[in-house]
Amino acid sequence: MIERFQHSLAHGITLSCRAAGQIGRPGLMFLHGFPEAAFVWDELLEHFARPENGGYRCLAPNLRGYEKSSQPSEVQAYRAKHLVQDIAALIRDQGSPLECLVAHDWGGAVGWNLANQLPALTKKLAIVNSPHPGTFLRELQSNPRQQAASAYMNFLIRPDAEAILRGDDYRRLWEFFTHWGSAPWLTESLKQQYREVWDASLTGGCNYYRASPLRPPRPQDPAAAAITLPREMLGVDLPTLVLWGMDDGALLPSLVDGLEEYVPRLTLEKVEGASHWIIHERPQWVARRLGAFLRE
């Protein structure tokens, strides 16, 4: 049974949350990406809440800007430091460190940063198709293939992006899921869940891209080409599992090359035949692999 509730943080942001499992049990937290929302984790929340799978207290917040969470109007409110502040406060409000923080896509950007800055808040980190900032910056600066694959980011920062995305029953957003292959998991009931999120909160999701300079450079916008990230902002010394769907058309396999330079306690699993949407495509496999990682 999925619980739904609003959780107010001390710094004034409210996050709409989904949860399963008994309060007070060891905790797992799941962070979604774009153009998704917390509901994508429901199957895993229920799985890991069951006693035979650990009996965890499982929590998935809608990140700021999404669904019924707070939606600040200023683009700067979506900078990484604010996103990390939200999740750090939510973890602290649970009363003890997490057993594991699990994150995908933009949620992974938050996860990588939190694990670097505040590692005491979680014992382990699990990342699903979300690039480490060090390898992402490298590829955006030097790899023409990744620059081309990430070109959609420069569309999403346009002031008219939301209006275009809403056109023709969100046709362009559905193509995020279907452009690189069929998506038989995208049922009509699931599409309706997506519509409800997009109806309520599309601007918040686009503001993540507008607030971040990590996007392909263009003649009029240096973007990633103008960035230098100090080494101390990149190291993650937690036990870390990275699951990477190798058919991800937006985040190419080269993004996991050299990852061990930043993450010495890394377990990397490259998943052939899976895409960026591996959580939808292979939820039971993801659950099994996460379960094994939690037992290590």
Q: Where are the domains of the chain?
A: 3-295
Which pLDDT belongs to residue 181?
77
Question: Which of 29-43, 117-131, 170-184, 272-286 is least confident?
Answer: 170-184
For residue 13 the two structure tokens come to 């942001």
For residue 186 the two structure tokens come to 């995208």
pLDDT surpasses 90 at 180:
no
CA distances to 145, 221, 229 from 247, rounded to whole Å, are 14, 29, 28
Sheet hosting strand 57-61, strand order edge to edge: 3-8, 14-20, 57-61, 27-31, 100-104, 125-128, 240-245, 266-271
96-123, pLDDT tens digit by residue?
999 999 999 999 999 999 999 999 999 9
Q: Is domain 3-295 in CATH 3.30.70.100, yes or no?
A: no
199-225, pLDDT tens digit by residue?
999 999 999 999 999 999 999 999 999
10-55, pLDDT tens digit by residue?
999 999 999 999 999 999 999 999 999 999 999 999 999 999 999 9
CA dist 212 and 51 (Å) reads 40
Percent of the chain with pLDDT over 90: 98
DSSP state, residue 44: H
For residue 209 the two structure tokens come to 């891209």
φ/ψ of residue 262, rounded to 5: -100, -20
Report field, pTM of the whole predicted structure over 0.85: yes
CA dist 134 and 255 (Å) reads 9
DSSP state, residue 63: P
Question: What 3-state class would DSSP assign to 109?
Answer: helix
Residues 6+ apart with CB under 8 A from 286: 44, 128, 243, 278, 279
227-258, pLDDT tens digit by residue?
999 999 999 999 999 999 999 999 999 999 99
pLDDT interval class at 79 (50, 70, 90) = very high
pLDDT surpasses 90 at 182:
no
**What DSSP element (H or E) covers 222?**
none
Residues 6+ apart with CB under 8 A from 158: 164
Which pLDDT belongs to residue 88?
98
Which pLDDT belongs to residue 296?
95
Q: Across the chain, what does the average pLDDT equal?
A: 97
For residue 184 the two structure tokens come to 């038989």
Half-sphere exposure in the Cβ direction for 245 (13 Å, CA): 24
121-148, pLDDT tens digit by residue?
999 999 999 999 999 999 999 999 999 9
